[in-house]
Structure 1
Amino acid sequence: MLELRTDPFPATSELNALFSAAWGSWHSRDFAAILSRSLAHIGAYCDDRLVGFVNVAWDGGIHAFLVDTSVHPDMQRQGIATRMVRLATELARERGAEWLHVNFEPHLTGFYSACGFRPTEAGLIELA
């Protein structure tokens, strides 16, 4: 049974394993400092195993940002990401954000549109 948990602070090893499975080439990171400054984050658990995750970063004011939306490949196409993004949207609103931003690749346009996001123009500089 799938359970969504708000602010679960999963272990770094759990997050790195999920991101590695979901994204392929992943460089392990320590998430403790990141998650402690997040507005919210949601973990999707199946039998106490982390199978999905989304982080709601923020600017400390009215802007929040969805980052790291991930679902384990074995669990994709089951509505998990949609449920996490909708809960993240509700939490961002409840916690005082007035705008929720997300950047995504073109093939995810339909997904984010179905979650209520509308297209905007934005800029991006790759720093690494």
Structure 2
Amino acid sequence: MPEFRIDPFPSPADLSTLWSAAWSTPEAPDFSRILPRSLAHVGAYHDDSLVGFVNVAWDGGVHAFLLDTCVHPDMRRQGIATQLVREATRIARERGAEWLHVDFEPHLTSFYRACGFRPTEAGLIKLA
């Protein structure tokens, strides 16, 4: 099982490597601007390589939001994503969040339900 690190601030290269593999996209967001404003983030490391990641954004108050949950394809189906979400949930609670939100695609419903999330009505406007 990988080692889970709280607020590890991975290098841009490490995040980009994981992001490209996990999301099949060439470019990761600029996390150097994102992570310092996050409530928390959790990295999963195997042999000192970043193999999983989740960011906990927040509104500065009681609402936190899971973003960018990902695991390297070679490391999937080992419970890493579940552990990332559990750690993120624990830390958000410890740091004062009262609500933890997550948006996800329909094929991830059973995963997030198993992590304790319940459906809620929400609204969405696509801006771009």
Under TM normalisation by the shorter chain, which class is it?
Answer: over 0.9
1:73 shift after superposition: 0.1
Given that 1:52 and 1:71 are in contact with CA atoms closer than 8 Å, whether structure 2 keeps it comes out as: yes
| Residue in 2 that maps onto 1:114 | 114
Secondary structure of the equivalent of 2:15?
helix
Which whole-Å CA distance do the structure 1 matches of 2:71 and 2:21 have between them?
A: 9
| Residue in 2 that maps onto 1:50 | 50
Secondary structure of the equivalent of 1:123?
coil
Q: Which moved more, 1:57-66 or 1:10-19?
A: 10-19
TM-score normalised by structure 2 residue count = 0.96
Given that 1:12 and 1:29 are in contact with CA atoms closer than 8 Å, whether structure 2 keeps it comes out as: no
| Residue in 2 that maps onto 1:25 | 25
Instruction: Spell out structure 1 runs of 4+ moving beyond 2 A.
Output: 25-29
Given that 1:4 and 1:44 are in contact with CA atoms closer than 8 Å, whether structure 2 keeps it comes out as: yes
Which whole-Å CA distance do the structure 1 matches of 2:86 and 2:59 have between them?
A: 20
Secondary structure of the equivalent of 1:27?
coil
Which whole-Å CA distance do the structure 2 matches of 1:17 and 1:124 have between them?
A: 30
Q: Which moved more, 1:106-115 or 1:11-20?
A: 11-20
| Residue in 2 that maps onto 1:100 | 100
Superposed CA deviations along residues 56-78 of structure 1, whole A, max 9, x for unmatched, are 00000000000000000000000
Secondary structure of the equivalent of 2:20?
helix
- 5+ residue gaps, structure 2, are none
Change beyond 3 A, Cα 1:82–1:10: same
Identity level (%)? 73
Secondary structure of the equivalent of 2:83?
helix
| Residue in 2 that maps onto 1:78 | 78
Secondary structure of the equivalent of 1:43?
strand
Secondary structure of the equivalent of 1:5?
strand
Which whole-Å CA distance do the structure 2 matches of 1:26 and 1:90 have between them?
A: 31
Given that 1:62 and 1:97 are in contact with CA atoms closer than 8 Å, whether structure 2 keeps it comes out as: yes
